Structure 1
């Protein structure tokens, strides 16, 4: 008997998760022992079946006897000195049997009302009907057991024959190297591969379970939902700490992490079975790595030349038949794959993704809120290999017209070899159903491979099932195409953010670029302030569950949505009542044209009410990406109004294949001088406003793709934040709302007039 051959145990529960890891295994009992035990169980089953048959015949006799009391004398009428008359059997008619047989197929367990109705129709007593159905159910059960016994006997015979084959193979086997006996019996190539795969999966599960065992039973309270486990770090601090910048340049945590987590609606406890989570994580990792390397027919090329690959859903379910269950009713599948070379090494990328604060910061345009609910494993050997976390996150689009997508999932990280890592997310709906969620993640995540130049090749897979029927019709083509939340958006955002981090490291910056910035410390401090501005803008412009927008019907064609926030002792925000207003609309011009118009300081006075018609001058410029549109600028408004002589505008413009942003905020001259000197920017008050520019759908031509366009149009979201009262407890006046509504309507009209006029030329 070869070591490691496992007899498939009948009725063995399957592993939870994507694919079963049952099959050939090491360390199991011998096949002969299992076969003998199998025969004993069959004999016991046969004995039980014979007892049931005897009981059925007795019940049948009693049923028939009981049905004849109406034909014979009752017990009270019998003479005790006389023997009772022999009872006559009451045979049901063929019609009665056929009717009860037909009823049995529809309802094997009729209730009292149904039995009485059936007895009236057939001319029987309700008790007779009851006994007939009891006997019929017992008969069906007995037939099923007989069939099952036959199957078991057949399976037992096969196992005995297989056992003899293995014995013969063992007795005749010899080592090809030494000619002596071998411990490995004759087996097919498929059996050998299954055995190897089974051993590998079991070793991985045992290893992760051993690590997770240290955390099982630890109260969830030790992982605060609203307090980060470690001090939050900005992406610029990551660059300073991990990419070799001097310690003196490492600043404090960036503003915005606590703001994104505040008012998060999260589960209060972690209710699912942790060993089942481990098995689900291992199965999801297997699926992700297979999907990352697979080609056609699983993945189909996009119509766009450099676009993401689209999943063949039918082929997916044939390849991965188990998964986390069928797609919920009303949900649709969105699945895409995209890859790129990014300017960051694989270890730093893994650290960003596995730290919820850094991950939320890097993907602030996509992730509106996120939290780690529980850490089952922190990894081994001082890194994230084997780390397992339970998380919740909310994914957004930069418009209040597109609902956010909340997801409750686990995240598992694994190193697959030198320089190769994978991080997978998968929803926990199959283990812990969460009512109300309209999005669930099948195996999604990224495969990170180190390249010879120290960069990383990232292959991203985004596979979700979602109910998006509440998306506004204007954004529906973009969402349905998968561009809104798909793999290309994740990869494009990551690529741009890695370029931004690399710009922090640059030491050979031309003097003309930094202008009024006199030091590297001042340059880094200004970039950090701009980063906080972008994060604050992105977290406040979407339809997040943390926001309560109120719709106003203004003078313009578009509805304006407003909401208020009270700011009290919040570093980086002015105290008082802040009114936010946003609106989205379509422009029949390419997104790139809209982006170039809005970021150009020479055309700013056309649409910017704050500039009051003055001349806008760029005082500082920091490039932070390959595209010339990716930069941070410091603008000064030379206005005839003496009250605005000290006003500066901090602006960041950024663009990638998924969309573009122009975000700005007025800053105080004195505070900005501190920042330019390398001071801490965390306490500089900002109320960011700006624009999000997206294509109106997937590109239909190479020209549209080059212009980051869909059908040739652009979706523009305009958002303002204004301090309407410096007293946090003050009541918002209708006049303030009307003023903001008028401001945003006027800005929209000016943009339309100038962009469309320019496009007409």
Structure 2
């Protein structure tokens, strides 16, 4: 057949492709090349060969033209080894568009040339895009054929009407064009609704039947990513494999919930390619979390101290989840724990808290420095959080200046597994759409499975799986962080349990309307809000986050283990005007967490370490309980004046302790502020300068080998880590400037307090 004049010959087409757009790169045309896709590939700078083969010694376009006569007739190709392909595929999942630095790293690690890596990624992206388009074209073609067939059948029915009773010819009637069009539209909508029910079945794992009965499985119903297929009005198709495990037996029967469109960032029926990758990550992470929450030994190793905390068997994890294990950072440390407990909150309330960034941060105030929702990909179904997927940022902290804040960018996905059974999973993604970088920390599939129990309780199984750069953490805290005490599941659950107990007590109807000390319910609320703000300011002075405007100071004669920061506030509500100085450090204490906390929170011993008391005894005027433990409380302390003309000093203090650590935070308040709180007034304008102590327990005795490696001998097994922090107002004048003497004063205050505590406890 002669070639039409509008289509160039194969040789002409190859030459024009090599020189197109001035890229100067060789574009190899495979045997199955489709000329109609040339423009599309040109726009995306894609190669047209498969993702496994590349040209050896590929030249630029100029070099190619200069050496045409020297090129051999048969071009040599390099077929990658299975190991190289596997590594490239793993990297492609996280970053389809690597930059020059990442391509250089891959070429060095896989013994390939940089151009080979570049061509492989171009070919792989072309392959993915081609598969997507072929799938869409096949679906559209089959739908078009089906509509044509239905149209033909309806035309025959119009031309030859029959009687339903006798089967003979009926009296010809006039069928309007509008009625004919409505019948065709009705058939199309019925088919579309049937596909939506199929999507719901696969995405939720629930048996859903179409209201129109079995209509046969269309080609689209066999697609494993019906969640994002454009024909159903939810998005474009993608390349998620059946290994995502949709409806894999982990999920029981539940109510029918049709899928709704994503509410944010969706234009028409298009979801960008990175969003389909987000869906891929979320589904894979959810399946991994559920399996890790349900599987016991040998995947998990229970702690020897008899507690419920478990650590991950990394060898067994690599065998169970080979694809996830292959994506781990080579030089980073892995921290993975699992724990479970009963919490006085129902599953729906807890899920709503976790899916709201502000409520999540309020539930874990000492763990989360900042949390924001970047984008909501899907908001859930039928007014619930089932199927909700959102992109979030968070900054996690340990209450010590020697442990940097963990900055995470991750997907959070919520799913209802059965009636009264929910799961929420987090998985980190790279910083930026075209980057595979993580800011010193990466959260592998982590989260919780929540099951409703009688009497309003829930059983929460929490899994924390993280890898991080250990070199940025102080030697004193490395063992504690790697054991999971710092950021592990035990700490998350302990904080959750304590906060839920506090909420239950505050909402209880058995609380007397009038406290014995004379504080009203309004005064109680005002005092608790002020205490909450005090603790938040204390934590911000320990671990600076992007939310709080602290400037880090470096003073030559101050130890590197002391973190000094300053902040200048002018006419800000709740802030004293002037320069505020914050200083904090952490030290090892050869006493148990329980003994040290009992000493610091006891009013009778306060004069032995607190410089504000001036060696005067302190009296507890008001106590508000925040948990079943008597040590979890907010107190208002008063120091009696020593002289007749001396004013009374008040101290607001909050204390709590659990298995994950202890906290004692306090701040001086003036008489006017105390009067305002007692009346239930707004305490948002009360100025605070909080100080206090954070105590973390030692890592368990199971980690003695790690303890020896980190420089801690076995004599430290019963010790704890004490963090001391002070905030002072240096100068209240608008033109005030910070001096070295001020920094030295607060530094001396810290170490003087530590010496007094050691002297009182009779430890060296």
TM tier, shorter chain? Answer: 0.5 to 0.7
Task: Show the counterpart of 1:21.
Answer: none
- 2:577 aligned with 1:575: yes
Task: Show the counterpart of 1:372.
Answer: 373
Task: Show the counterpart of 2:479.
Answer: 477
Residue 139 and residue 614 in structure 1: after superposition, are their counterparts in 2 closer, same or farther (change >3 A)? closer
Query: Does the Cα contact within 8 Å between 1:517 and 1:677 map onto a contact in 2?
Result: no
Task: Show the counterpart of 1:215.
Answer: 264
CA drift at 1:480: 1.7
Residue 663 and residue 320 in structure 1: after superposition, are their counterparts in 2 closer, same or farther (change >3 A)? same
Task: Show the counterpart of 1:446.
Answer: 448
Distance in 1, matches of 2:535 and 2:629, equals 18
Task: Show the counterpart of 1:419.
Answer: 420
Task: Show the counterpart of 2:136.
Answer: none
Query: Does the Cα contact within 8 Å between 1:661 and 1:693 map onto a contact in 2?
Result: yes
CA drift at 1:432: 4.6
Task: Show the counterpart of 1:386.
Answer: 387
Residue 353 and residue 194 in structure 1: after superposition, are their counterparts in 2 closer, same or farther (change >3 A)? closer
Q: 2:723 aligns with which of 706, 717, 724?
A: 717
Alignment of 1:640-659 (within 5 A): 640=642, 645-659=647-661
Query: Does the Cα contact within 8 Å between 2:430 and 2:438 map onto a contact in 1?
Result: no
Distance in 2, matches of 1:663 and 1:194, equals 47
CA drift at 1:315: 2.1
Q: 2:457 aligns with which of 449, 455, 458?
A: 455
Query: Does the Cα contact within 8 Å between 1:399 and 1:543 map onto a contact in 2?
Result: no
CA drift at 1:683: 1.9
Task: Show the counterpart of 2:361.
Answer: 360
Residue 738 and residue 293 in structure 1: after superposition, are their counterparts in 2 closer, same or farther (change >3 A)? same
CA drift at 1:718: 0.5
Distance in 2, matches of 1:308 and 1:691, equals 26
Partner of 1:474, secondary structure, is: helix
CA drift at 1:446: 0.8
Query: Does the Cα contact within 8 Å between 1:300 and 1:310 map onto a contact in 2?
Result: yes
Residue 417 and residue 735 in structure 1: after superposition, are their counterparts in 2 closer, same or farther (change >3 A)? same
Report the TM-score, using the length of structure 1 for normalisation.
Answer: 0.64
Alignment of 1:119-134 (within 5 A): none
- 2:692 aligned with 1:753: no
Query: Does the Cα contact within 8 Å between 2:293 and 2:463 map onto a contact in 1?
Result: yes
- 2:556 aligned with 1:549: no
Partner of 1:400, secondary structure, is: coil
Query: Does the Cα contact within 8 Å between 1:605 and 1:612 map onto a contact in 2?
Result: yes
Residue 284 and residue 729 in structure 1: after superposition, are their counterparts in 2 closer, same or farther (change >3 A)? farther
Query: Does the Cα contact within 8 Å between 1:515 and 1:619 map onto a contact in 2?
Result: no
CA drift at 1:279: 2.3
Distance in 2, matches of 1:195 and 1:602, equals 59
Alignment of 1:461-500 (within 5 A): 461-500=463-502
Query: Does the Cα contact within 8 Å between 1:695 and 1:710 map onto a contact in 2?
Result: no
Alignment of 1:106-185 (within 5 A): 108-109=56-57, 135=74, 137=76
- 2:456 aligned with 1:407: no
Partner of 1:595, secondary structure, is: helix
Residue 645 and residue 615 in structure 1: after superposition, are their counterparts in 2 closer, same or farther (change >3 A)? farther
Distance in 1, matches of 2:203 and 2:617, equals 73
CA drift at 1:457: 0.9
Partner of 1:297, secondary structure, is: coil
Partner of 2:471, secondary structure, is: coil
Residue 214 and residue 359 in structure 1: after superposition, are their counterparts in 2 closer, same or farther (change >3 A)? closer
Higher relative contact order at CA 8 Å, sep ≥6: structure 1 or structure 2?
Answer: 1
Distance in 1, matches of 2:204 and 2:749, equals 70
Distance in 1, matches of 2:644 and 2:70, equals 98
Query: Does the Cα contact within 8 Å between 2:590 and 2:716 map onto a contact in 1?
Result: no
Task: Show the counterpart of 2:288.
Answer: 287
Q: Which runs of 5+ in 2 are unaligned?
A: 1-30, 34-54, 81-201, 207-220, 236-258, 704-714
- 2:733 aligned with 1:731: no
CA drift at 1:325: 5.5
Alignment of 1:167-206 (within 5 A): 202=225
Residue 399 and residue 638 in structure 1: after superposition, are their counterparts in 2 closer, same or farther (change >3 A)? same
Q: 2:687 aligns with which of 685, 688, 692?
A: 685
Distance in 1, matches of 2:79 and 2:227, equals 45
Alignment of 1:690-709 (within 5 A): 690-699=692-701
Query: Does the Cα contact within 8 Å between 1:551 and 1:559 map onto a contact in 2?
Result: no
Query: Does the Cα contact within 8 Å between 1:700 and 1:711 map onto a contact in 2?
Result: no
**More off after superposition, 195-204 vs 641-650:** 195-204
**More off after superposition, 724-733 vs 472-481:** 724-733
Distance in 1, matches of 2:719 and 2:77, equals 70
Partner of 1:385, secondary structure, is: coil
Partner of 2:651, secondary structure, is: strand
Query: Does the Cα contact within 8 Å between 1:579 and 1:724 map onto a contact in 2?
Result: yes
CA drift at 1:667: 1.0
Distance in 1, matches of 2:203 and 2:610, equals 67
CA drift at 1:307: 4.2
Distance in 2, matches of 1:111 and 1:403, equals 47
Distance in 2, matches of 1:751 and 1:497, equals 29
Residue 344 and residue 541 in structure 1: after superposition, are their counterparts in 2 closer, same or farther (change >3 A)? same
Distance in 2, matches of 1:649 and 1:139, equals 75
Partner of 2:630, secondary structure, is: coil
Q: Residue by residue, what CA displacement relative to the aligned partner does 1:60-89 show, whole Å, maximum 9, x if unpaired?
A: xxxxxxxxxxxxxxxxxxxxxxxxxxxxxx
CA drift at 1:202: 4.3
**More off after superposition, 424-433 vs 489-498:** 424-433
Distance in 1, matches of 2:692 and 2:298, equals 43
Distance in 2, matches of 1:681 and 1:139, equals 72
Q: Residue by residue, what CA displacement relative to the aligned partner does 1:117-137 show, whole Å, maximum 9, x if unpaired?
A: xxxxxxxxx9999556x5472
Q: 2:616 aligns with which of 614, 617, 626?
A: 614
RMSD of aligned residue pairs (Cα, Å): 3.8
Residue 738 and residue 136 in structure 1: after superposition, are their counterparts in 2 closer, same or farther (change >3 A)? closer
Task: Show the counterpart of 2:36.
Answer: none
Higher radius of gyration, 1 or 2: 1
Residue 128 and residue 522 in structure 1: after superposition, are their counterparts in 2 closer, same or farther (change >3 A)? closer
Residue 129 and residue 696 in structure 1: after superposition, are their counterparts in 2 closer, same or farther (change >3 A)? farther
Report the TM-score, using the length of structure 2 for normalisation.
Answer: 0.64
Residue 554 and residue 669 in structure 1: after superposition, are their counterparts in 2 closer, same or farther (change >3 A)? farther
Query: Does the Cα contact within 8 Å between 1:361 and 1:535 map onto a contact in 2?
Result: no
Distance in 2, matches of 1:613 and 1:138, equals 84
CA drift at 1:377: 2.1
Q: Which runs of 5+ in 1 are unaligned?
A: 1-43, 47-106, 116-125, 142-192, 220-269, 702-708
Partner of 1:275, secondary structure, is: helix
**More off after superposition, 390-399 vs 273-282:** 273-282
Distance in 2, matches of 1:45 and 1:593, equals 76
CA drift at 1:633: 0.8
Distance in 1, matches of 2:327 and 2:632, equals 43
Alignment of 1:169-318 (within 5 A): 202=225, 211-217=260-266, 273-318=274-319
CA drift at 1:652: 0.6
